[in-house]
Structure 1
Amino acid sequence: MPRPATLPTLDWKAVFESGLDYTAWLAAAESAEQRDKLEAQRAALALDPQAAGFMAALPRPVHVVAIAEDWCGDVVRHAPVLQRLAETGPNLKVRYLSREQHPDVFARFLTNGGEAIPKFIFLSDRFVECGNWGPMPESCRELIARGKACGDVAAARKKVSARYEQDTACREVVAELLRLVDIAASREP
């Protein structure tokens, strides 16, 4: 049996360092309207005390490469959540980049074969890949997959929108991101 193709090794530290911090990324936004939405979403998000405490006590640095572009609705909803976590935990370092900046990186993180953003790649303090998230919470990705399977993606998107409206505090996203932060900060298996 033939062996599967092996992807080339990435220099995650170089990829991370090629990205922009949140302030620079926002300043480079294509749309002032989208930039305002991103900032409003970030400013409105309050983390619960348990999440804030976890982030404040993060024992080791965790690096996140965020593939995100301001025109995308899911980016507007989810990038501010990641940023709020980074603001709460000084050991969470995030850099934002576009799909075009590193197409070889983005190609590794397609969603069901499609280009969907945001994609957040979690790296340890040694820049070892530990997990990824995106473009939306798991339950919403499942809805979209079911919509594709039955030929009614429009109905699935309506259900996703309804979930977003019900979870204005982005609790599901926060929980999923915290799980990945915890994995990347692990000191033992």
Structure 2
Amino acid sequence: MPRPATLPLIDWKAVFDSGQEYAAWLSAAESTEQAHEIEAQRRALVLDPTAAGFLATLPVPVHVVAIAEDWCGDVVRHVPVLQRMAEAGPNLRVRYISREQHPGVFIRFLTNGGEAIPKFIFLSDRFVECGNWGPMPEACRELIARGKACGNVAAARKEVSARYAQDTARQEVVDELLHLTDIAASQGR
């Protein structure tokens, strides 16, 4: 049996270093309206004390490469969560890149073969890839996959919208991102 193709290694530190911090990324937004909405959601989001406490005491740096572009509704919805978490934890460091900036990185994180953002790639303090998230919570990705399987994506999207409306604190997203942060911060556990 032939061996599968080996993908080239990614210099995650270089990718991270090439990204923008939140303020610079937001100020370069294509849509002023979307940028205002992202910022309004970030300001309005309050993390629960347990999540904030966990983030405040991260023992080592966790780096996150966020593939995000302001035109996307899921970016508008989920970047504020990641950014609020980074503000709560000085060791949670985030940099934003576009799909075009690093196409060799983005192609590795397609969703069911399609281009979907945001994608958050979690890296350890040594820039080792530990997991990724996106473009939406796991349960919502499953709803969309089921909708595609039965030929009714419109109904699935409606259900996803209803889930988003019910979870105004974005707790589902916070929980999934905290889990990946915990993995990336692991120290031999």
Pairing of 1:23-172 with structure 2 (within 5 A): 23-172=23-172
| 1:4 to partner: Cα distance | 1.0
CA distance in 2, matches of 1:158, 1:118: 20
What's the secondary structure of 1:174's corresponding residue?
helix
Specify the code of the residue in structure 1 equivalent to 2:112: N
**TM-score, normalization by structure 1:** 0.99
Q: Deviations over 1:5-59 (max 9, x none)?
A: 1110000000000000000000000001000100011011000000000000000
What's the secondary structure of 1:101's corresponding residue?
coil
What's the secondary structure of 2:131's corresponding residue?
strand
| 1:157 to partner: Cα distance | 0.3
Specify the code of the residue in structure 2 equivalent to 1:174: V
What's the secondary structure of 2:178's corresponding residue?
helix
CA distance in 2, matches of 1:99, 1:169: 28
CA distance in 2, matches of 1:154, 1:68: 24
CA distance in 2, matches of 1:15, 1:154: 36
**TM-score, normalization by structure 2:** 0.99
CA distance in 2, matches of 1:14, 1:170: 31
CA distance in 2, matches of 1:151, 1:103: 30
CA distance in 1, matches of 2:37, 2:73: 10
Q: Deviations over 1:133-176 (max 9, x none)?
A: 00000000000000000011111000000000000000000000
CA distance in 2, matches of 1:118, 1:74: 7
CA distance in 1, matches of 2:171, 2:52: 13
Aligned length: 189
Counterpart of 1:9 in structure 2 is 9
Deviating above 6 A after TM superposition, structure 1's stretches of 4 or more consecutive aligned residues are none
What's the secondary structure of 2:53's corresponding residue?
helix
What's the secondary structure of 1:4's corresponding residue?
coil
What's the secondary structure of 2:96's corresponding residue?
strand
CA distance in 2, matches of 1:77, 1:182: 22
CA distance in 2, matches of 1:159, 1:188: 40
Specify the code of the residue in structure 2 equivalent to 1:56: A
The CA RMSD measured in Å over matched residues stands at 0.4
What's the secondary structure of 1:7's corresponding residue?
coil
Gaps of 5+ in 2: none
Give the % identical residues: 80
CA distance in 1, matches of 2:158, 2:2: 43
